[in-house]
Structure 1
Amino acid sequence: MRRILVDNISSGMKLAKPLYNAEGMVLLNAGIELKEQLTDRLEELDVTYVYIEDDLTRDVDVPDVISEKTRIEAVANAKKIMEQIKLGRGIDAAQAKQIAGGIIDELCKNKGVMVNFLDMRTRSDYLFSHAVNVCVLAVMTGICLDYDELQLQDLGVGALLHDVGKVLISPEVLNKQDRLTPQEKEEVKKHPALGFEILRKNPDISLGSAHCALEHHECFDGSGYPQGLKAAEIHPFAQIVAIADMYDALISDAAYRRAIPVYEALAIIAKAGASCFDRELVAIFTDNIATYPIGSIVRLSNNQIGVVVDISRESKAKPVVRILFDENKRHITELTELDLSKNQRLYIADVVER
């Protein structure tokens, strides 16, 4: 399979992974042919990318660090939790801990696996998918820091609920398709404090988890909000969640920009480490992310275009690439793979949106 822009779907292409909504219902099943009316439906749902299968990539599997079942259930339950909060019914702490626990269990079993899978999400489901992604990324970092079971649970719950204050922000502002006005930005910036108040009132949620909501927009140099905390003043859990939050936001579509390729997002995170984050945490976080995820379409330095089919932690920037088009843009029919880690002359020049 390979990842492709919905805009570039052509006749005969088939969906390689099912598309779900936040309730866990299948919107489009794997194997379905993406005819024009289905492509129009994807655009209506604000889905930008899908995974498709074709003859040259049929055997390419894009691994996820958690199972499809766990991811679907986590997103659906995250939505339930937030909807209950919006209705003024408080947080179901037991459900939040169950979600985090399931993610922790799977990540502990899959130690060493890098993040490759980029989930397909509708824009309306962003908040819930984002919550689960941030939880996954934060827990992976916590595992690398040798956090114990209780620390991982508190970090996981805090990461899952870090944006819970947004349910109290006006939907018109939160879902606005254009850039926010200064006044609207100030309204959105209230969500950390709002989230903290929601979490700290629940006796079954730790203060460490609550601080993930309050402090995930603080910066190491004191330029963040809402308190302008610096360095060690920021809770360690919140420092981890802040990196995960920025990373997932960068690789996701926003109202005013397309998602940024993973390698660019990692470069931005690394640069931000000088002012926003702890450099050591950034290094640990980025070590878990595949620079060019499996299924990505890339252009090599010799202008050949291919799909990433394998990657190792030791040579993240030099994966194995299966060639799809030669340097003259002619379609390749014979299976040709290049291990860039064994080729000093070739390198990835860019990620191709096709």
Structure 2
Amino acid sequence: MSNEITLDIRQCKPGMKVSEEIINNFGAILVHKYTILDDYTVNKLMNFGIEKVKVYEDYEPKTKNDMEVNIVYEEKVNEFKTIIKDIGIGKKLDTLKVQNIVRELNDSFTSINEIITNLKSNRAIDEYTYSHSLNVSLLCSLIGNWLGLSPAQKRTLSYCGLLHDIGKSKIPPEILDKPGPLTPSEYEEMKKHSIFGYKILEGNIAISKDIMMAVLMHHEREDGSGYPFGLKGDKISFYAKVTAIADVFDAMTSDRVYKKRQTCFDVFEMFESEYLTKCDANILLTFLSRVASYYIGSNVRLSDGSYGEIVFINQKAISKPIIRLEDSRIVDLSMEKELQIEEVL
């Protein structure tokens, strides 16, 4: 690692790597150590009155705009749609196209802001199957970074996320695209997608066993309540455990044909109340802590119609942040049981 230098916030450039945690006046972590700065993060720090930032001296300048990132994303959605439809009519998986999608996604989306902003974008509901796979790939890579994994492991996670639902290419469209809840028999058919996905990848020398196991096991749960085998704990692939968290988060925060998206804080609450025993606790808590800290500084609308800004995330109640209202009053949502976040603006 290169030498550390202290810069005025106005001297900070996209591509610089932060060398220590940056904390606001409430004690909340605004930016974690080793974060790569982008325009969004620099502006966020300026808005919080941060004047000095410690960064590593060496850095690679980042020059791109949101439009370029969006264009790449839409291109990759269309390419992945072609891959899925080809498999649906019996063609083999085009691994070169898959590699290209993963490489270009990782080259284009290099910060949490780019990924979260993309997740929040309104996309065509009938494109969900394809955009969801790209989103899970991006989230898997992000989690891998937060867990301190090697570049090779993060790349494997990107493939796991992209391919995790590939078996849905074998699910009848009337079930996959049904505009309402599935019947018990339809749900049993849908659950077969993880096995179908494994069979699609089986024998492909370009696909590692880790990726195949993630595709097969991403619906398994730590307590044995998942499928297709009801596996528990260390019987579940590590890559499947990461993929499972990314899968659930994107699914719950996306519009579906039969269900509106939930706010990220609704999903955080669900994770805290229902999933600490279903998902790997270490991976889940790392994910919740890091992704929630991104929202510090975000403006929100509360269920009583008031507006405010998130100023602190309590790590013991991530879904219930502390809000500074427009009139400067401070509200701790963990103490105000009737009040909740209706919208992140």
TM-score by length of 2: 0.69
Does 2:191 correspond to 1:208? no
Spell out structure 1 runs of 4+ moving beyond 6 A.
111-114, 293-296, 310-316
Tell me if the contact between 2:324 and 2:330 (Cα under 8 Å) persists in the aligned partners: no
Q: Equivalences for 1:175-324 in 2 at 5 Å?
A: 175-290=177-292, 297-299=300-302, 303-305=305-307, 317-318=321-322
Tell me if the contact between 2:133 and 2:163 (Cα under 8 Å) persists in the aligned partners: yes
CA distance in 2: counterparts of 1:350 and 1:162, whole angstroms: 31
Shift, 1:106, TM fit: 4.2
The one-letter amino acid of 2:138's match is V
Instruction: Provide structure 1 residue ranges, at least 5 long, that are not aligned to the other structure.
Output: 1-59, 327-337
CA distance in 2: counterparts of 1:155 and 1:181, whole angstroms: 32
Question: Kindly tell me: are residues 204 and 312 of structure 1, through their superposed partners in 2, closer, same or farther at Cα, counting changes over 3 Å?
Answer: farther
User: Cα deviation per residue 1:77-120 (whole Å; 9 max; x = unaligned)?
Assistant: 2212112211211111122122222233345x436878344021
CA distance in 2: counterparts of 1:345 and 1:224, whole angstroms: 38
What is the CA RMSD across the aligned residues, in angstroms?
3.3
Does 2:140 correspond to 1:154? no
Q: Equivalences for 1:18-37 in 2 at 5 Å?
A: none
Tell me if the contact between 1:134 and 1:248 (Cα under 8 Å) persists in the aligned partners: yes
Greater fraction of residues in helix: 2
The one-letter amino acid of 2:289's match is D
CA distance in 2: counterparts of 1:175 and 1:234, whole angstroms: 29
CA distance in 2: counterparts of 1:142 and 1:242, whole angstroms: 13
Match of 2:330? 344
Please state whether the residue corresponding to 1:203 is helix, strand or coil.
coil
CA distance in 2: counterparts of 1:168 and 1:127, whole angstroms: 13
Q: Which moved more, 1:76-85 or 1:110-119?
A: 110-119
Question: Kindly tell me: are residues 252 and 112 of structure 1, through their superposed partners in 2, closer, same or farther at Cα, counting changes over 3 Å?
Answer: closer
CA distance in 1: counterparts of 2:160 and 2:237, whole angstroms: 11
Shift, 1:260, TM fit: 1.2
Question: Kindly tell me: are residues 196 and 319 of structure 1, through their superposed partners in 2, closer, same or farther at Cα, counting changes over 3 Å?
Answer: farther
User: Cα deviation per residue 1:119-139 (whole Å; 9 max; x = unaligned)?
Assistant: 211111000110011111111
Match of 1:167 among 166, 169, 176: 169
CA distance in 1: counterparts of 2:297 and 2:129, whole angstroms: 25
The one-letter amino acid of 1:271's match is S
User: Cα deviation per residue 1:47-75 (whole Å; 9 max; x = unaligned)?
Assistant: xxxxxxxxxxxxx9xx98x9223322221
Match of 1:28? none
Match of 1:94? 96
The one-letter amino acid of 2:106's match is I
CA distance in 2: counterparts of 1:116 and 1:214, whole angstroms: 29
TM-score by length of 1: 0.67
Does 2:71 correspond to 1:69? yes
CA distance in 1: counterparts of 2:240 and 2:211, whole angstroms: 8
CA distance in 2: counterparts of 1:275 and 1:114, whole angstroms: 27
Match of 2:144? 142
Tell me if the contact between 2:322 and 2:330 (Cα under 8 Å) persists in the aligned partners: no
Please state whether the residue corresponding to 1:81 is helix, strand or coil.
helix
The one-letter amino acid of 1:299's match is L
CA distance in 2: counterparts of 1:126 and 1:218, whole angstroms: 22
Identity of aligned residues (%): 29
CA distance in 2: counterparts of 1:112 and 1:129, whole angstroms: 18
Question: Kindly tell me: are residues 110 and 320 of structure 1, through their superposed partners in 2, closer, same or farther at Cα, counting changes over 3 Å?
Answer: farther
CA distance in 2: counterparts of 1:133 and 1:261, whole angstroms: 16
CA distance in 1: counterparts of 2:296 and 2:262, whole angstroms: 13
CA distance in 1: counterparts of 2:86 and 2:199, whole angstroms: 16
Tell me if the contact between 1:131 and 1:159 (Cα under 8 Å) persists in the aligned partners: yes
The one-letter amino acid of 1:110's match is S
Tell me if the contact between 1:114 and 1:289 (Cα under 8 Å) persists in the aligned partners: no
Shift, 1:205, TM fit: 1.0
Q: Equivalences for 1:73-84 in 2 at 5 Å?
A: 73-84=75-86
Tell me if the contact between 1:296 and 1:351 (Cα under 8 Å) persists in the aligned partners: no
Q: Which moved more, 1:283-292 or 1:271-280?
A: 283-292
Question: Kindly tell me: are residues 297 and 211 of structure 1, through their superposed partners in 2, closer, same or farther at Cα, counting changes over 3 Å?
Answer: same
Tell me if the contact between 2:265 and 2:341 (Cα under 8 Å) persists in the aligned partners: no
Question: Kindly tell me: are residues 345 and 222 of structure 1, through their superposed partners in 2, closer, same or farther at Cα, counting changes over 3 Å?
Answer: closer
The one-letter amino acid of 2:341's match is D
Shift, 1:184, TM fit: 0.7
Question: Kindly tell me: are residues 293 and 173 of structure 1, through their superposed partners in 2, closer, same or farther at Cα, counting changes over 3 Å?
Answer: farther
Question: Kindly tell me: are residues 190 and 226 of structure 1, through their superposed partners in 2, closer, same or farther at Cα, counting changes over 3 Å?
Answer: same
**Greater RCO between the two (CA within 8 Å, min separation 6)?**
1
Please state whether the residue corresponding to 1:298 is helix, strand or coil.
strand
